[in-house]
Amino acid sequence: MDRIVICRCEEVDLEEIEQTLINYQCSMREIKLRTRAGMGYCGGRTCRPALNAILEKVSGEKQPHQIPLKVQPPVRPVSLGRIGETNYE
């Protein structure tokens, strides 16, 4: 069976997320910490809606009391050559 990758940045698949939810009865924050889903380069912008849907499907309810996870915009990489151009005089 093919893996269904939910978090592409951290390569976390659907089965790993579902098993973590079932085994630990986690909140979304715990899922993030246990699997690293949503902690990659995009900061959860791509996978967060899917993670919310999986949590709702497995737990059977939305969790309005949970603190929303912070979603950050992607970071722009800077080359070392560019950093070396900085003049500190």
pLDDT of residue 74: 57
Residues 45, 41: Cα–Cα separation, whole Å: 9
pLDDT score recorded for residue 8: 93
- Bridge partners of residue 13, in order along the sequence: 5
Provide the 8-state DSSP code for 74. Answer: P
Q: Could you state, in chain order, the average pLDDT of each consecutive group of 10 residues for the chain (89 residues)?
A: 88 94 89 92 86 87 59 66 66
- State the burial class of residue 7 (Cβ atoms within 10 Å of its Cβ: 0-12, 13-18, 19+): buried
State residue 52's pLDDT score: 87
* Confidence (pTM): 0.66
pLDDT of res. 64? 58
- What's the CA dihedral at 31, 37, 47, 28 to 10 degrees? 10
